[in-house]
Amino acid sequence: MDLDFVVNADWVAGMLLASIRVAGFVIASPIFKAFPATGRMVLVIVLGYTFAEPIAGSTDIATLIVGGFTNAVVGVTLGFLTGIIFYLFTVGGSLLDFTSSLGAAAIFDPVSTEQVTIFGRIFNIMALAMFLLLGGDRMLVAGMGVSFDAVGITGTISLSGGLAEVAVELMGRMMIGAIEMAMPALAALFIAEVVLGIAARFAPQSNVFLIGLPVKLFAALASVSAVLLLVPETLDGVMSIMQDTFRTTLLGM
């Protein structure tokens, strides 16, 4: 018995364009950097197949090129803007590493291919694990589905200047949130610096630099538990901001 395997060119073109949008989102979002390359590839293929729809005139090269560029811009823009606020945890941990002198212990992370610090990596992994447990991955997939309803696979976009203002506002909220989250440990380290400064004033013959390293390290480790207690509440606000960013970005297109 002969089996005929028929490939519909319209569906293949639709899946290709949908996969381009999903790939742009996955590449630009910091949330998926911790996933292995194979996992990201499978995610792109599965979501591309899910959101695909047939495209009339799929043999037109100009249509495919324009559609590919449009979907890439939509995916990268959504991934970048919704992911800005998630850097809050890495920045907050990096502030603690810098003030506690642990920044010198930065190591190369083969997953993110970047230099990472101790507290920055700890906070980022903890926030990512809680994000997935709370259904953040489903929220992102739902947001991608809404993007296909707002801007079709062969739709057109008009990036307004308001998106730049959204990015600047998100950067400001990210920095403020990182400082607020790390404030208990930063306050303890500031007090330790003041005490060491007073000690250096009244005992100039002592090597305050050598004494200060273990003192600041102890202060950071003793106070970081207070910071960890703030991570769940901070993550709840981050997820709310990401949902608002999806809506604002799509309106700006």
Nearest to 192 by CA among 215, 214, 211: 215
Q: Report domain extents, the chain.
A: 9-248
- Burial category of 235 from C-beta neighbours within 10 Å (exposed 0-12, middle 13-18, buried 19 and up): buried
Amino acid letter, 119? F
**Segment holding 116, helix H or strand E:** strand 114-116
Tell me phi and psi for residue 80, to 5 degrees. -70, -50
Contact (CB, 8 A) for 212 and 206: no
Contact (CB, 8 A) for 248 and 144: no
pTM of the model: 0.81
Q: Among 49-58, 152-161, 168-177, which stretch is predicted with the lowest mean pLDDT?
A: 152-161
Q: Across residues 142-169, what is the average pLDDT?
A: 81
Q: What is the pLDDT of residue 1?
A: 46
DSSP, res 155: -
Q: How many residues does the chain have?
A: 253
pLDDT digits (tens, 9 = 90+) for 61-99: 777 888 888 889 899 999 999 888 888 888 888 888 888
User: What are the counts of helices (DSSP H) followed by strands (DSSP E) for the chain?
Assistant: 8, 2
